Structure 1
Amino acid sequence: MPMADLFADDAPQKPTEEVREDAPLADRLRPRSLAEVIGQEHLTGSDGAIGRMVAAGRLSSMVLWGPPGTGKTSIARLLADEVGMRYEAVSAVFSGVADLKKAFAAAEKAQKAGQRTLLFVDEIHRFNRAQQDGFLPFVERGLVTLVGATTENPSFELNAALLSRAQVLILHRLDAEALGKLLDRAEELEGPLPLTEEAREALIASADGDGRFLLNQAETLYAAKIDDPLEPAALGQFLQRRVAVYDKDREGHYNLISALHKAVRGSDPQASLYYMARMLVAGEEPLFVARRLIRMAVEDIGLADPQALTQCMAAKDAYQFLGSPEGELALVQACLYLATAPKSNAVYKAQKAAFRSAKETGSLMPPMNIVNAPTKLMKDVGYGKGYTYDHNAEEGFSGDNYWPDDMDAQTYYEPVERGFEREIRKRLDYWDKLRAERG
Structure 2
Amino acid sequence: MADLFGDDPVQPSSPTTAENAPLADRLRPARLEDVVGQEHLTGPDGAIGRMVAAGKLSSIILWGPPGTGKTTIARLLADAVGMRFVPVSAVFSGVADLKKIFAAAREHARLGQRTLLFVDEIHRFNRSQQDGFLPYVEDGTITLIGATTENPSFELNAALLSRAQVLILRRLDAAALERLLERAEALMDRPLPVDAAAREALIASADGDGRFLLNQAETLFSVRIDAPLDPAGLSALLHRRMAVYDKDREGHYNLISALHKSLRGSDPQAALYYLARMLVAGEEPLYVLRRIVRFAVEDIGLADPQALVQALAAKDAYDFLGSPEGELAIVQACLYCATAPKSNAAYAAQKASWKAARETGSLMPPPNILNAPTKLMKQIGYGEGYSYDHDAPEGFSGDNYWPEEMTPQVFYAPTDRGFEKRIAERIAWWDELRKGKNK
TM-score (norm 2): 0.96
Count of aligned residue pairs for this structure pair? 431
How far residue 9 of structure 1 moved from its aligned partner, in angstroms, is 5.2
Query: In the TM superposition, what are the counterparts of 1:277-356 in structure 2 within 5 Å?
Result: 277-356=276-355
Partner deviation per Cα, 1:328-352 (whole Å, 9 max, x = no partner): 1111111111111111110000000
SS in 2 for 1:149: strand
2 CA distance for matches of 1:96 and 1:227?
50
SS in 1 for 2:96: helix
Bigger Cα displacement from structure 2, 404-413 vs 228-237: 228-237
1 CA distance for matches of 2:219 and 2:99?
39
SS in 1 for 2:76: helix
Partner of 1:136: 134
2 CA distance for matches of 1:150 and 1:410?
51
CA RMSD, 1 decimal: 1.3
In the alignment, structure 2 segments of 5+ residues that lack a partner are: 1-6
1 CA distance for matches of 2:114 and 2:370?
79
How far residue 13 of structure 1 moved from its aligned partner, in angstroms, is 4.2
Preserved CA contact (<8 Å) 1:13 1:87 = no
Query: In the TM superposition, what are the counterparts of 1:210-289 in structure 2 within 5 Å?
Result: 210-289=209-288
Letter of the structure 2 residue corresponding to residue 430 of structure 1:
W
Percent identical pairs in the alignment equals 74
Query: In the TM superposition, what are the counterparts of 1:108-257 in structure 2 within 5 Å?
Result: 108-190=106-188, 191-257=190-256
Preserved CA contact (<8 Å) 1:305 1:342 = yes
Partner of 1:3: none
SS in 2 for 1:63: strand
Partner deviation per Cα, 1:42-96 (whole Å, 9 max, x = no partner): 0000000000000000001010000000000000000000000011111101111
How far residue 388 of structure 1 moved from its aligned partner, in angstroms, is 1.0
2 CA distance for matches of 1:9 and 1:116?
23
Structure 1 position 11 matched with structure 2 position 14: no
Preserved CA contact (<8 Å) 1:199 1:232 = yes
SS in 1 for 2:166: strand
Partner deviation per Cα, 1:126-174 (whole Å, 9 max, x = no partner): 0000000100000000111100000000000000010011000000000
Query: In the TM superposition, what are the counterparts of 1:97-112 in structure 2 within 5 Å?
Result: 97-112=95-110
SS in 2 for 1:244: coil
2 CA distance for matches of 1:40 and 1:367?
68
Partner of 1:434: 433
SS in 1 for 2:403: coil
Partner of 1:67: 65
Structure 1 position 402 matched with structure 2 position 404: no
Letter of the structure 2 residue corresponding to residue 46 of structure 1:
P
Letter of the structure 2 residue corresponding to residue 139 of structure 1:
V
SS in 1 for 2:363: coil
Preserved CA contact (<8 Å) 2:247 2:283 = yes
How far residue 119 of structure 1 moved from its aligned partner, in angstroms, is 0.6
Partner of 2:44: 46
How far residue 367 of structure 1 moved from its aligned partner, in angstroms, is 0.9
Partner of 1:4: none
2 CA distance for matches of 1:406 and 1:127?
58
Preserved CA contact (<8 Å) 1:60 1:145 = yes
Partner deviation per Cα, 1:213-271 (whole Å, 9 max, x = no partner): 11111112222222222111121121122210011111111111111111111111111
Preserved CA contact (<8 Å) 2:292 2:333 = yes
Letter of the structure 1 residue corresponding to residue 120 of structure 2:
D
Partner of 2:370: 371
TM-score (norm 1): 0.96
1 CA distance for matches of 2:177 and 2:374?
81
How far residue 284 of structure 1 moved from its aligned partner, in angstroms, is 0.9
Preserved CA contact (<8 Å) 1:364 1:404 = yes
Letter of the structure 2 residue corresponding to residue 330 of structure 1:
A
How far residue 177 of structure 1 moved from its aligned partner, in angstroms, is 0.7
Letter of the structure 2 residue corresponding to residue 71 of structure 1:
G
Query: In the TM superposition, what are the counterparts of 1:52-91 in structure 2 within 5 Å?
Result: 52-91=50-89
SS in 2 for 1:321: helix
Partner of 2:384: 385
How far residue 362 of structure 1 moved from its aligned partner, in angstroms, is 2.1
Letter of the structure 2 residue corresponding to residue 146 of structure 1:
L
2 CA distance for matches of 1:13 and 1:22?
15
2 CA distance for matches of 1:62 and 1:97?
21
2 CA distance for matches of 1:92 and 1:75?
18
Bigger Cα displacement from structure 2, 46-55 vs 357-366: 357-366
Structure 1 position 95 matched with structure 2 position 98: no
Partner of 1:412: 411
